[in-house]
Amino acid sequence: MKISTKGRYALRMMLEFALHPGECTKINQVAERQQISDKYLEQIVTILSRAGYVKSMRGAQGGYYLTKEPADYTVGMILRLTEGSLAPVACMEDELNQCMRSGHCATLTVWKQLDQAINGVVDSITLADLVEEQKKLDGDSHDS
């Protein structure tokens, strides 16, 4: 499984919004800080906005902001929104495995374990966790 730039950039954008609580963040600010094309970020923010993850505010002080607390967003939520299924193989994408061989497939146990591991990781990390990690990396953790 490979996460596309859309998923990676969506996560980085959401992190930017989470790092600036109570503020509206402009796309060009995210683009500059994250070194990502603002045109590409505009496409991604549309997806996030339609899903209700972010809202926009117009005007000189406008921009985007999170609709919930950073702890209410998991990495998995953001990646599934932008990437679709995170299943490692096509036969795992539907709730009921449609593969004719699923009842006789020894490798299915590998794919099930991999799927559980992936979901376990991405669903256990929140934007709040990433904010704390970013603060540590930036040397900004005065709370400890």
pLDDT digits (tens, 9 = 90+) for 92-139: 888 777 788 878 889 999 999 999 999 999 999 999 999 999 999 998
Q: How many CB atoms neighbour CB 57 within 10 A?
A: 10
pLDDT computed for residue 144 by the predictor: 42
Q: Beta strands of the chain (E only): which ranges?
A: 54-57, 63-66
Mean pLDDT of 56-81: 94
Q: Which two tokens stand for residue 116?
A: 């559980």
Q: What angle do CA 85, 89, 95 make, to 5 degrees?
A: 55
The β-bridge partners of 54 are 66
140 pLDDT higher than 70: no
Residue of higher predicted confidence among 104 and 82: 82
Three state DSSP letters for the chain: CCCCHHHHHHHHHHHHHHHCCCCCECHHHHHHHHCCCHHHHHHHHHHHHHCCCEEEECCCCCEEEECCCHHHCEHHHHHHHHHCCCCCCHHHCCCCCCCCCHHHCCCHHHHHHHHHHHHHHHCCCEHHHHHHHHHHHCCCCCCC
Q: How much of the chain exceeds pLDDT 90, in percent?
A: 72
